[in-house]
Structures are given as structure tokens and as C-alpha cells.
């Protein structure tokens, strides 16, 4: 250890563990102070700082600074603080404590220089995020089941990751967390373990299954860390892995289709997370410096504007108790602050000029064009129109406008409004001054987003998508339907099959057991007859008989010997 600087993630984890034990009047100080202290520490760490621990014959590096790691750690710490402000008045202590442990372990991953410590923080992150969902069980009966399914998926991903790490270390002898190729058993499993947390197929459904069942603030925390930590791990571990282009493209269009079909406002935004992470995974698969910068910048901006959208949706849920688009509408009349901030988040995710989405997403599409991948560029541009349809228009239109639901709830408490205004300010600030994010990206960047052709092309795309939405508004209106996803196989089919077997087992298990018992008893009796106490091979033989048989065997052996001569 070269200095007394601690890994920033441990500070936030410590704050989370302290929260349940401090007096209520100090909880607000810890909730805001520890994320701020963590953010300061992220920027105090330099390349000269290090902290190593000995584990078996390996040396763990838990304070390893990288340019990308600092970017992700920065936005994670910001999100922990702003999310805590949003949660102050209504979140349970368990939720805030778990959220800080969750965020701290995500920051811990960004400073890991080895695979073993990465795995430890990875698993702590899974436990913390599960508790964030679990903390809402008193308000939402579905939260418990969602948390268990969420935990099972992430334990599966963790086991796959652990096996991959063990195989990779056995093959190479190194635990260093660096760029790899998915060309061995170990690295393939490591890649799969990262993709499970990213929400890649076939396990994409866990995001829309679990996130909407958390509390309004819990969903905000969940949206920020797990999938983006996986993006960081992919960016550092598998840049340029071609398979990621195809995986990411699936995620892009999967998220759009299911979000357009969805009626639940928070499930719309949850599917949108899969869509947006798909953009980042595609960029990582392209692997050029511009593409990796784009994935990093997009992740930074996405955490902010997605958090803002979920804050807006959470405020509506808290004040109305309703979450389905069919039950909402006309809320701009009594919740203008929530509506304005929701619209700003919708504009940012749609990459409208002068917002953060415009100056970050364009890096990824430009990277596809520069890499000579016209089909990737075309698909990403087309997907941008789909994003505007489901998150840019559908969410604010059906929640705050369309028909008047007759609901007249007020805007949420001051802390929630303040958190939304801060997030809106950041969305616009980054869009107006993109050098704020461009200056901290992993690679030097000379890129001008505000060119005439780029602005005009994006505005044309958005206007066309907006026209299509309102022209097809009759088809866009939601009804009380259920969208089946891959989770049906393990939520319904698997448990249904187990129940069927349990119900019908007496009909076929009994005869099978009797057949096995009869077969075993029959052969056991035969063995006993031969080898038992009175068996032919076990009973006592006279000495004279044994001498006779020995003489016979000796004579036979001698005859065979002379025959060979």
C-alpha cells in the first residue's frame, strides 16, 4: 500500500452498514455525506495509489485506477447521492443501507485489478440489489417473488463467472483483470457471466420482472448499477469481441418491441434499459477507440436520464398508487414539476439536440460508420427512432397527457422534486457542454456532435418517428394485456412441470419402485446363495479335498506349460 487512500467503494459500503445503527437525525447526513465523500475519493485516487491483499498464493489488487473505471465510479457515486436525496422521506432504512452496499460494490468493481476481487464485489452487488427489491415487500406482495427470481438468476450468473475465472486462472496462472479473447473455456464462461448481468438473451427478462416491483426509489437505484457494471466489465475484459455486436443488436430491438407492447409505465422503462445497454454492447463489440468512448459516454448519460425517467414514474406511483398507462393520463395538470422533468428525461433518451443523449449516442453510430459496418449503423439509427417511440413519446404521453384520468395528485415532496431538477440540469448541461464528458473518456477524443448534417438528420428522424406515433395512435393505445417473455419457462413451465410430477407421481413412481425392489431382491438372493454363510464359495471344505484340487490345478498348469514348449 503506497498511501492511506482507501478504495472509494469501501467508503460507501461502510456508510450502508452504519445507517441502521445511527440515530434518525444523523441518517440524512450519512445518506448525502458518504456518497459525496466517495465521489471526492474517486478523484483523489491516482495511478500511483494501490492497495493489495494476499489471498492464498495470489495478490489481490483492489485499488487499480483506469480511465474508464473513474468515469463509471464517478457516475455511480453521483447516482448514489442523488438517489439517496430522492429516497430520504419514504425509503426504509433497509433499502437505503442495501442501496449503499450495492452502489459501493459496483464502485469496487470499477477499481478491481484482478478477477478474484472482481468476483467478490460482483456477488456483494447481487446480495445488495436483492435486498433493495426485498425492502418493498411490505408495500408490494409481488416484490418477494421478484427478489427470489432475481437472486436465482444472478447466483446462476455468479456461478458461471466463478467457474470461468477458475478455469482461466488454471489455464494461464494469472488473475489479472485485463482484455481477453473468448477463445477458451474459461474466458467464454467469464463472458457469459458478464452478459447475464448486462441483461443479454436469454435472461433479459429479469430486468422487467424485478425492477418494477421495487419501491419508487429502489427502482432508481437498481437502474443505475448492475447492468452498467456489466458494461464496464465487458468494456475492460472483451473489447472488440465480434459476438457482442450481434448480442447487443438483439438487445436493442428486443427492448423496443417489448416496451411498445407494455402497459406498465415502469416496465416500459425497464425494457428500455435492455434496449439502451444493447447500444453499449454493440459499441464494445466494434471495439475501436471511438466506439469504446461512445459506450462509456452513453453509460454515463444513460444512468442520469434513465434515473430521471424512473424518478418521474416513481413520483407518479407514489402520489397516485397506479402504474398502468390505462389508469393514468392528464397528470400534467396537477403534477407539472414531475411532468416537466419526465419530458426532459424523455428528450434526453431520445437523443434530442441540446441533451446528453444527443452528444453521447452519436459516438456509437459514428464508430459503426467509421468501422465500415453500414448495416450496424443503419440498425442503430433505426433503433434510435424506436427509442423515441417508446420512451420519448409513449411514456410521457400516456402518463401525463392523452385522456384525462380524473386523478389530481400533487407533485411529490421537496426532496424528490430537488433530485429530479438536479438530474434534468445534468441532462441539459452535458448536452450543451459535451466537453464535460468528452474530457474524461478513456481515449483522447476529437469529435464535434453539433454539425449541420448530424443535427438535421437527427431532427428528421425524430419528427418522422413522432408523426408515425400519432398517426398510429389507435394501435399504440395500451390495453390490459400480459406480455410473455422467456421468464415464462422458469416461472410457469418449470414449476408447473414440478407440480404435475408431484401430483401424478403415485401413479407411476410406485410401480417403478416395486420393479426395482423385485429386481434387487432377486439378485440379492442369488448372491446370498453363492456367497452367503452357507454358499458354495463360503462354506468349509475338507483339507483332503483342497489338497486334491491343488494337485489337479498344478497338473493342469504343468501340461499347459509343456504344450507351449
6-35 per-position pLDDT tens digit:
899 999 999 999 998 988 888 888 889 999
Is the CB of residue 82 less than 8 Å from the CB of residue 419? yes
Write phi, then psi, for 113 (nearest 5 degrees): -105, 0
The single-letter DSSP state of residue 93 is H
Secondary structure (DSSP) of 13-52: HHHHHHGGGS-HHHHHHHHHHHHHHHHHHHHH--TT---E
**Per-residue confidence at 538, pLDDT binned at 50, 70, 90?**
low
Q: From CA 357, how far away is CA 3, in angstroms rounded?
A: 38
The pLDDT of 264-269, averaged and rounded, is 90
The pLDDT of 381-408, averaged and rounded, is 84
The CA angle 127-133-135, to the nearest 5 degrees, is 100
326-359: pLDDT as tens digits: 888 889 999 999 999 999 999 999 989 999 999 9
Mean of pLDDT over the chain: 88
Secondary structure (DSSP) of 173-193: S--B-----S-SHHHHHHHHH
Q: From CA 93, how far away is CA 127, in angstroms rounded?
A: 16
Rg of the chain over all Cα atoms, to the nearest angstrom: 30
Is the CB of residue 283 less than 8 Å from the CB of residue 349? no
The share of the chain scoring above pLDDT 70, in percent, equals: 93
Cell 389508469 sits at which residue? Answer: 327
Q: From CA 286, how far away is CA 558, in angstroms rounded?
A: 80
Is the CB of residue 406 less than 8 Å from the CB of residue 329? no
283-338: pLDDT as tens digits: 999 999 999 999 999 999 999 999 999 999 999 999 998 888 888 888 999 999 99
**Per-residue confidence at 2, pLDDT binned at 50, 70, 90?**
very low
Is the CB of residue 276 less than 8 Å from the CB of residue 498? no
Q: Which DSSP helix (H) or strand (E) runs through 53?
A: strand 52-55
The CA angle 472-474-475, to the nearest 5 degrees, is 70
| pTM summary value | 0.86
62-106: pLDDT as tens digits: 999 999 999 999 999 999 999 999 998 888 889 999 999 999 999
pLDDT higher than threshold 60 for residue 1: no
pLDDT at 508: 65
Is the CB of residue 428 less than 8 Å from the CB of residue 357? no
3 state SS of 464: helix
Amino acid at each position: 500500500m503506497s498511501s492511506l487512500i482507501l478504495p472509494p467503494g469501501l467508503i460507501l459500503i461502510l456508510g450502508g452498514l452504519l445507517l441502521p445503527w445511527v440515530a434518525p437525525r444523523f441518517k440524512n447526513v450519512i445518506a448525502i455525506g458518504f456518497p459525496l465523500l466517495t465521489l471526492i475519493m474517486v478523484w483523489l485516487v491516482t495511478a500511483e495509489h494501490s492497495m493489495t491483499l494476499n489471498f492464498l498464493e495470489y495478490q489481490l489488487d483492489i485499488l487499480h485506477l483506469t480511465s474508464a473505471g473513474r468515469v463509471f465510479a464517478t457516475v455511480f457515486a453521483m447516482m448514489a447521492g442523488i438517489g439517496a436525496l430522492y429516497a430520504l422521506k419514504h425509503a426504509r432504512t433497509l433499502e437505503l443501507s442495501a442501496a449503499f452496499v450495492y452502489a459501493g460494490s459496483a464502485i469496487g468493481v470499477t477499481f478491481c485489478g484482478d478477477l478474484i476481487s472482481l468476483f467478490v464485489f460482483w456477488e456483494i452487488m447481487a446480495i445488495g440489489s436483492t435486498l433493495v427489491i426485498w425492502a418493498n415487500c411490505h408495500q408490494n406482495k409481488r416484490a418477494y417473488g421478484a427478489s427470489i427470481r432475481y437472486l436465482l438468476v444472478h447466483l446462476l450468473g455468479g456461478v458461471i463467472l466463478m467457474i470461468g475465472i477458475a478455469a482461466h486462472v488454471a489455464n494461464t496462472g494469472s488473475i489479472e483483470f485485463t482484455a481477453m479473447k473468448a477463445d477458451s473455456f474459461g474466458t467464454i464462461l467469464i463472458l457469459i457471466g458478464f452478459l447475464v448481468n448486462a441483461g443479454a438473451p436469454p435472461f433479459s427478462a429479469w430486468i422487467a420482472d424485478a425492477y418494477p416491483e421495487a419501491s419508487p426509489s429502489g427502482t432508481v437505484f437498481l437502474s443505475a448499477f448492475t447492468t452498467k457494471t456489466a458494461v464496464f466489465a465487458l468494456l475492460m475484459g472483451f473489447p472488440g469481441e465480434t459476438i457482442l455486436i450481434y448480442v447487443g443488436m438483439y438487445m436493442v430491438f428486443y427492448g423496443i418491441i417489448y416496451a411498445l407492447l407494455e402497459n406498465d409505465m415502469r416496465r416500459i422503462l425497464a425494457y428500455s434499459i435492455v434496449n439502451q445497454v444493447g447500444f453499449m454492447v454493440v459499441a464494445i463489440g466494434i471495439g475501436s477507440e471511438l466506439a469504446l468512448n461512445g459506450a462509456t459516454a452513453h453509460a454515463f448519460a444513460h444512468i442520469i436520464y434513465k434515473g430521471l425517467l424512473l424518478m418521474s414514474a416513481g413520483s407518479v406511483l407514489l402520489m397516485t398508487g397506479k402504474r398502468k398507462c390505462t389508469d393514468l393520463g392528464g397528470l400534467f395538470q396537477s403534477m407539472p414539476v414531475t411532468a416537466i422533468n419526465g419530458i426532459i428525461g424523455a428528450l434526453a433518451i431520445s437523443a434530442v439536440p441540446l441533451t446528453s443523449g444527443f452528444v453521447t449516442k452519436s459516438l456509437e453510430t459514428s464508430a459503426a460508420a467509421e468501422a465500415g459496418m453500414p448495416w450496424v449503423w443503419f440498425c442503430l439509427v433505426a433503433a434510435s427512432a424506436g427509442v423515441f417511440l417508446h420512451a420519448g413519446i409513449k411514456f410521457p404521453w400516456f402518463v401525463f397527457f392523452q385522456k384525462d384520468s380524473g386523478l389530481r395528485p400533487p407533485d411529490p415532496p421537496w426532496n424528490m422534486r430537488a433530485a429530479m431538477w438536479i438530474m434534468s440540469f445534468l441532462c441539459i448541461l452535458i448536452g450543451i457542454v459535451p466537453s464535460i464528458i468528452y474530457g474524461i473518456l478513456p481515449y483522447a477524443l476529437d469529435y464535434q456532435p453539433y454539425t449541420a448534417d448530424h443535427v438535421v438528420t437527427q431532427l428528421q428522424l425524430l419528427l418522422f418517428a413522432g408523426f408515425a406515433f400519432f398517426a398510429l395512435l389507435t394501435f399504440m393505445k395500451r390495453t390490459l394485456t400480459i406480455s410473455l417473455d422467456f421468464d415464462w419457462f422458469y416461472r410457469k413451465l418449470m414449476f408447473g412441470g414440478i407440480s404435475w410430477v408431484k401430483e401424478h407421481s403415485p401413479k407411476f413412481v410406485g410401480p417403478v419402485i416395486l420393479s426395482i425392489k423385485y429386481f434387487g431382491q432377486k439378485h440379492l438372493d442369488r448372491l446370498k446363495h453363492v456367497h452367503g454363510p452357507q454358499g458354495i464359495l463360503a462354506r468349509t471344505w475338507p483339507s483332503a479335498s483342497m489338497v486334491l484340487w491343488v494337485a489337479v490345478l498344478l497338473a493342469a498348469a504343468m501340461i499347459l506349460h509343456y504344450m507351449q514348449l
